């Protein structure tokens, strides 16, 4: 048995994009369920008056670089009674995109979840 679900949601009003992939498969009486999700949000748009202003803006961002560090979290759980194992990995951070005279600050969340359990 193998089942795949794919969703690609885009919202222009809230400046958000969400990509979701879920896969369920069974082998030797063990069911594995995986979920991958990528979420992107446009947090800020900085308009630059002239192309030369970009270098000054980049220099300012270097001073506050510690605030934009990437975060990585791992959560692992084992439960004997239902015979279930879970693993969740999440990465959060920001990146910038420059289009014409605008700088877009984009926040992202990448997550991977996997769950193993016995078929009843």
- What is the value of pTM for the model shown? 0.74
Instruction: Read off φ and ψ for residue 26, nearest 5 degrees.
Output: -125, 140
pLDDT at 12: 73
pLDDT at 39: 93
Tens-digit pLDDT profile for residues 80-105: 877 889 999 999 999 889 888 888 99
Question: For the chain, which residues make up each domain, given as ranges?
Answer: 2-118
Tens-digit pLDDT profile for residues 7-55: 888 877 778 888 999 999 888 888 999 999 999 999 989 898 887 788 8
pLDDT band, residue 112 (cuts 50/70/90):
very high
87 C-beta neighbours (distance < 10 Å), count: 15
Beginning with the edge strand found earlier in the chain, give each strand of the sheet holding 84-99 in spatial order: 2-11, 16-27, 30-47, 102-118, 84-99, 71-79
Q: Would the pLDDT of 2 be above 70? A: no
């Amino acid at each position: 048995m193998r089942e795949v679900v794919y969703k690609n949601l885009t919202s222009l009003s809230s400046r958000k994009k969400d990509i979701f992939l879920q896969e369920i498969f069974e082998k030797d009486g063990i069911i594995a369920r995986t979920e991958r999700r990528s979420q992107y949000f446009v947090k800020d748009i900085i308009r630059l008056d002239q192309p030369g202003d970009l270098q000054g803006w980049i220099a300012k961002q270097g001073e506050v670089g510690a605030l934009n560090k990437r975060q990585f979290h791992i959560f692992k759980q084992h439960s004997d009674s239902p015979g279930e194992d879970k693993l969740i990995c999440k990465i959060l951070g920001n990146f910038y995109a420059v289009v014409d005279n605008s700088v877009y600050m984009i926040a992202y969340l990448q997550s991977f979840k996997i769950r193993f359990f016995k078929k009843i």
